[in-house]
């Protein structure tokens, strides 16, 4: 009740103040402006994101005193998607905003709703350009770092059991057998947070692409299916094998991400398929584990073709509704973010957990071991590819539930792959793709 | 014998109230007094309902829509998760409704008898109804945790290895249903208490004169005369069970996998995924399902009602 009164008081005071100055002051405020611009910037409310956005805003204003940037936040996940889509479609978007790249960005209808920023193409890395491009134009600059969908592993446990990093699935399973005999949970799974179940499938995409090049295109055109492509179905098979062999931790059904990371850091579990960005949380929760945790790509059938599946950073976009002086200022800001100064600014705001997508930006030497391992894959020609969600707009929403079913022994891999193909069909039809 | 007495008494009471008035008396208020309420009702209920029937036949997004006939319904019924969701919904509704009737009646009989601390016990039974569903869901999720939950730890003390209540596919739906019963039985009890208290004392006195036992009292007087309360409880809890969503979402999100998905959570997930047409079609199916079950049931139950 009191809160409401205060809000009411503030509102009426603000109205009064506005009313008081609006009549005569219009001219003078223009004079005073002298080219000063204030830009609004919408970011999601994850603490790391907010730190990055505010760090960039501060450093940019320090160099360009005429432009101030105010950061607004929105929820993450689906609720955030709805906010972004609604504000874009009503022309009510902030002057700039941060949002996913890849298939989610494509769902914003970029040709209609976003301003192309081709001027910065020269500063960006090719994989990122693919994931913010549409019809030969690019629409955003990177906000953050690359991450990988890979296997994090405890190096101490590996050393103690005399294991070496596996390059094929058979080597991986052989390692698991030894780990199990040694009394360590070979593979950590955490279905208390369902999204963590998908890494065996999503993180396996480099291996799919290596076995049948161009798979993503055929998949988008409804010419290739998970159930009928052995390399693609392998992800589901792997998940089932790990469960059937009893290689997962006992509390897999209820454990959460934090539990999984702690198990890994403490060496109760040896390997955890997860996104590499989770390393920062692992280190924050378990100080001193920076160099104990390593990373390797999800192993596939062929050691020679094994490689890392990477996720492109989020993008920073300018909506079509930003015009005039604000558009110029916003482009200047994007130029700053897509340059070495932007990378430095980001590095000051948070610990980088993956390579930058801006050419000429180097990671500091102090990064955790897992990030160094990731860099080795990226530096090697042909040892990394973008995740499927950046190459194809088709991703079924029920994948996490299906993976939980396979990983818990409720559904077999074959049936799961077929079910996922059906799920994907709904997405393709909703997007109005050809051939579905 | 006792029933006869009851029936006769009921008939007499009905006659005593006199013949029904011949025609409806004209209301002293003009009909356009209905208008404000009618506009609100039309704008907020009728228009969305009718448009949702149309939009369930399209594939729409925030930007545009495309007419696709009955494709959404075809997809909906071909989807294994949706069909099992439909079945789970019915199971969930029947189980929660049945348990609420049985337990509610038992508790109401107990709480209308002369026991110590009756007022206190009544509020204890009713208390869960007042707590937020999400709060209840989260609390029980923690209590039912297979490894560290209080319930399994207590069971371990007496040497029983408790199952993964919410993580084992064969228990998840039933565990949530039981929590729903825990939360909702207070309301059923309240309705029953009201129903039992409103039974005139003469019947019990007459029964005592006839030498009826407590069991006979219950079966021949309380049960038939609390029938309106039973109908209310069945209807309310069945409707509630068919549309239940918040508790399930808070506790399992339909998981593990799809094993505790009900139709409302399936619809929600389709909406979340941006399949607006499909989720609209799901809502139409839910609407028809609830109507198809509740409407005839309510007609049937009402025709069985007796006057006190």
In the prediction, which pLDDT does A241 show?
Answer: 93
β-bridge partners, A145 = A356
pLDDT number for residue B130: 92
- Residues A123-162 have pLDDT tens digits of 888 888 888 988 889 999 999 889 999 999 999 999 999 9
**Residue A254: pLDDT above 90?**
no
Residue in A86, A112, A430 nearest the CB of B59? A430
> Is the peptide bond between B140 and the residue preceding it cis, with omega within 30 degrees of 0?
no
Q: Give me the mean pLDDT over the A110-123 stretch.
A: 89
pTM: 0.77
Region of residue A229 (left: phi > 0; alpha: psi -120 to 50; beta: else): beta
Between chains, do B63 and A89 touch, taking CB under 8 Å as contact? yes
How far is the alpha carbon of B273 from chain A, nearest alpha carbon, in Å? 6
**The pLDDT value given to residue B63:** 67
Burial of A89 (0-12, 13-18, 19+ CB in 10 A): middle
Average pLDDT, chain A: 86
pLDDT band, residue B62 (cuts 50/70/90): low
Nearest chain A residue to B270 by CA: give it.
Answer: A397
Worst-scoring range by mean pLDDT, A22-31, A405-414, B11-20?
A: A22-31
Q: Within 13 Å and on the Cβ side, how many CA atoms surround B56? A: 21
CB B269 to CB A422 under 8 A?
A: no
Share of chain A above pLDDT 70, in %: 92
Average pLDDT over residues A36-45: 92
Topology of domain A3-144+314-362, per CATH?
Answer: D-Maltodextrin-Binding Protein; domain 2 (3.40.190)
Domain ranges of chain A: 3-144+314-362, 147-310+386-431
Q: Is the separation of the CB atoms in A138 and A117 below 8 Å?
A: yes
Q: CA A227 to CA A236: how far, in whole Å?
A: 10
Mean pLDDT along residues A39-55: 90
pLDDT of residue B6: 46
Q: DSSP per residue over A257-294, as a string?
A: HHHHHHHHHHTSEEEEEEETTHHHHHHHHSTT-TTTEE
Region B114-140: mean pLDDT is 91
The residue among A92, A103, A401 with the most chain B CBs within 10 A of its CB, best to mutate, is A401
- CA-nearest of A72, A406, A379, A85 to A226 is A406
User: What's the pLDDT tens digit per position in B161-211?
Assistant: 888 888 888 889 999 999 999 999 999 999 999 999 999 999 989 999 998
Grouping H, G, I as helix, E, B as strand and the rest as coil, residue B44 is helix
Closest-CA distance, A219 to chain B, in angstroms, reads 19
Q: Is A404 on the interface with B (CB under 8 A)?
A: yes
Strand ranges inside A35-83, DSSP E:
37-44, 67-74
Q: Given pLDDT bands bounded at 50, 70 and 90, which one contains residue B1? A: very low
A147-310+386-431: same fold as A3-144+314-362?
yes
Tallying the residues shown for chain B, one arrives at: 308
**CA torsion sign, A363 to A365 to A367 to A369?**
positive
Does B166 sit within 8 Å of A401, measured CB to CB? no
pLDDT at A19 over 50: no
Tokens, residue A86: 């609604």
Whether residue A80 is predicted with pLDDT greater than 90 in this model: the reply is no
Q: Name the residue of chain B whose CA is nearest to A79's CA.
A: B272
A251 touches chain B (CB under 8 A): yes
pLDDT for A20 = 40
Q: For residues A408 and A253, what is the distance between their CA atoms, to the nearest angstrom?
A: 7
Residue A107 in contact with partner chain B when CB distance is under 8 A: yes
CA dihedral A415, A419, A421, A426 (to 10 degrees): 170
Instruction: Please give the average per-residue pLDDT across A93-115, as a whole number.
Output: 89
pLDDT of residue A360: 82
pLDDT band, very low/low/confident/very high, at B15 (cuts 50, 70, 90):
very low
Angle at B125 between CA B123 and CA B126, to 5 degrees: 65
Contact A405 B257 (CB under 8 A): yes
The answer to whether the CB atoms of A254 and B145 lie below 8 A apart is yes
Contact A109 B253 (CB under 8 A): no
- Contacting residues of A for B59, CB less than 8 Å apart: 429-430, 432
Please identify which residue in the block is written with the tokens 């799809």: B258
pLDDT of residue B17: 46
Q: What is the CATH superfamily name and number for domain A147-310+386-431?
A: Periplasmic binding protein-like II (3.40.190.10)
Give CA separation, B28 vs A7, B31, B37, in Å.
44, 9, 18
Q: How large is the average pLDDT for residues B18-40?
A: 76
User: pLDDT at position A235, please?
Assistant: 92
Rounded to a whole number of angstroms, the distance from the CA of A240 to the nearest CA of chain B is 14
Interface residues of chain B, partner chain A, Cβ below 8 Å:
59, 61-63, 66, 75, 78-81, 145-147, 164, 166-169, 253-259, 269, 272-275, 277-278
8 A C-beta contact, residue A138 and residue A121 = yes
Using a CB–CB cutoff of 8 Å, tell me whether A258 touches chain B.
no
Whether A10 shows a pLDDT value over 50: the answer reads: no
User: Is the model more confident about A369 or about A6?
Assistant: A369
Element housing A97 (H / E)? strand A96-99
Q: How distant, in Å, are the alpha carbons of B23, B36, B41, B280 from that of B33?
A: 22, 7, 14, 34
Instruction: Calculate how close chain A gets to B52, using CA atoms only, in Å.
Output: 17
Each residue's pLDDT tens digit, A280-321? 888 888 888 888 999 999 999 888 889 999 999 999 999 999
The total number of residues written for chain A in this structure: 436
Output the CA torsion sign for A390, A396, A401, A406: negative
Contact A363, A355 (CB under 8 A): yes
- Which residues of chain B neighbour A191 with C-beta distances below 8 Å? 167, 255-256
- What tokens does A300 get? 């596939």
Interchain contact A405–B (C-beta under 8 A): yes
Selecting from A86, A404, A405 the residue whose C-beta is nearest the C-beta of B62 gives A86
Facing A426 at nearest CB: one of B62, B75, B166: B75
CA atoms of A142 and A328, how far apart (whole Å)? 19
**Partners of residue A109 in chain B, C-beta under 8 Å:** 63
What is the C-alpha separation between A355 and A334, in angstroms, rounded? Answer: 19
Token reading at A436: 């579905």
Q: Chain A residues with CB inside 8 Å of B61's CB?
A: 430
């Amino acid at each position: 009740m009191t809160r409401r009164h205060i809000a009411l008081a503030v509102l009426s005071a603000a109205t009064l103040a506005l009313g008081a100055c609006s009549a005569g002051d219009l001219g003078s405020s223009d004079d005073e402006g002298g080219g000063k611009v204030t830009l609004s910037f919408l970011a999601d409310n994850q603490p790391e994101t907010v730190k990055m956005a505010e760090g960039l805003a501060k450093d940019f204003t320090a160099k360009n005193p005429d432009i101030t940037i105010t950061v607004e936040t929105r929820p993450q996940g689906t609720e955030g998607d709805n906010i972004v889509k609604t504000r874009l479609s009503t022309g009510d978007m902030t002057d700039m905003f941060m949002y996913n790249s890849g298939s989610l960005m494509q769902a914003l209808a970029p040709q209609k709703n976003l301003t192309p920023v081709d001027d910065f193409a020269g500063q960006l890395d090719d994989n990122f350009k693919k994931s913010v491009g549409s019809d030969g134009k690019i629409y955003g600059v990177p906000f953050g770092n690359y991450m990988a969908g890979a296997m994090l592993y405890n190096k101490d446990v590996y050393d103690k059991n005399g294991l070496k990093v596996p390059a094929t699935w058979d080597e991986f399973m052989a390692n698991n057998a030894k780990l199990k005999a040694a009394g360590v949970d070979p593979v950590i799974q955490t279905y208390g947070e369902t999204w963590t179940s998908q890494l065996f499938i999503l993180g396996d995409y480099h291996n799919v692409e290596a076995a049948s090049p161009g798979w993503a295109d055929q998949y988008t055109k409804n010419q290739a299916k998970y159930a009928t492509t052995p390399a693609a179905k392998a992800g589901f098979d792997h998940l089932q094998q790990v469960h059937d062999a009893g290689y997962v931790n006992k509390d897999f059904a209820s454990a959460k991400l934090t539990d999984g990371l702690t198990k890994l850091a403490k060496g109760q579990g040896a390997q955890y398929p997860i996104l590499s960005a989770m390393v920062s949380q692992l280190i924050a929760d378990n100080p001193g584990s920076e160099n104990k945790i390593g990373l390797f790509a999800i192993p596939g059938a062929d050691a020679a073709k094994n490689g890392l599946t990477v996720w492109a950073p989020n993008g920073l976009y300018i909506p079509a509704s930003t015009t005039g002086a604000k558009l110029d200022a916003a482009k200047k800001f994007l130029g700053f973010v897509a340059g070495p100064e932007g990378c430095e600014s980001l590095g000051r705001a948070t610990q980088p957990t993956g390579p930058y997508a801006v050419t000429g930006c180097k990671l500091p030497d102090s990064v955790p071991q897992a990030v160094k391992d990731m860099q080795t894959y990226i530096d090697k020609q042909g040892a990394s590819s973008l995740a499927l969600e950046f190459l194809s707009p088709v991703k079924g929403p029920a994948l996490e539930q299906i993976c939980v079913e396979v990983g818990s022994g409720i559904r077999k891999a074959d049936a799961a792959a077929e079910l996922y193909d059906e799920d994907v069909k709904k997405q393709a039809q909703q997007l109005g793709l050809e051939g579905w | 014998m006792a029933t006869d007495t009851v029936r006769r008494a009921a008939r007499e009471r009905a006659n005593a109230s006199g013949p029904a008035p011949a025609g409806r008396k004209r209301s002293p208020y003009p009909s356009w007094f209905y208008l404000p309420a009618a506009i609100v009702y039309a704008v907020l209920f009728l228009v969305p309902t009718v448009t949702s029937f149309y939009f369930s036949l399209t594939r729409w997004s925030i930007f545009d829509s495309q007419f696709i006939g009955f494709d959404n319904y075809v997809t909906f019924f071909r989807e294994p998760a949706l069909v099992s969701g439909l079945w789970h919904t019915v199971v969930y509704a029947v189980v929660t409704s049945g348990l609420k009737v049985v337990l509610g009646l038992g508790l109401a009989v107990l709480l209308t008898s002369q026991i110590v601390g009756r007022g206190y016990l009544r509020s204890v039974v009713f208390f869960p109804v007042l707590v937020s569903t999400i709060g209840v869901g989260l609390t029980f999720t923690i209590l039912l945790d297979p490894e560290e939950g209080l319930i399994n730890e207590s069971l371990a003390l007496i040497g029983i290895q408790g199952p993964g209540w919410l993580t084992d596919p064969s228990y998840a739906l039933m565990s949530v249903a039981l929590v729903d019963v825990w939360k909702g039985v207070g309301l059923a009890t309240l309705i029953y208490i009201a129903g039992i208290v409103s039974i005139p004392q003469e019947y019990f006195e007459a029964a005592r004169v006839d030498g009826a036992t407590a069991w006979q009292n219950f079966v021949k007087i309380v049960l038939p005369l609390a029938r309106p309360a039973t109908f209310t409880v069945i209807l309310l809890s069945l409707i509630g069970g068919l549309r239940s969503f918040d508790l399930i979402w808070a506790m399992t999100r339909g998981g593990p996998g799809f094993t505790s998905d009900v139709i409302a959570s399936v619809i929600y997930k389709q909406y979340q995924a941006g399949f607006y047409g499909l989720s609209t079609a799901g809502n139409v199916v839910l609407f028809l399902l609830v109507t198809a079950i509740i409407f005839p049931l309510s007609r049937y139950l009402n025709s069985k009602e007796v006057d006190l």
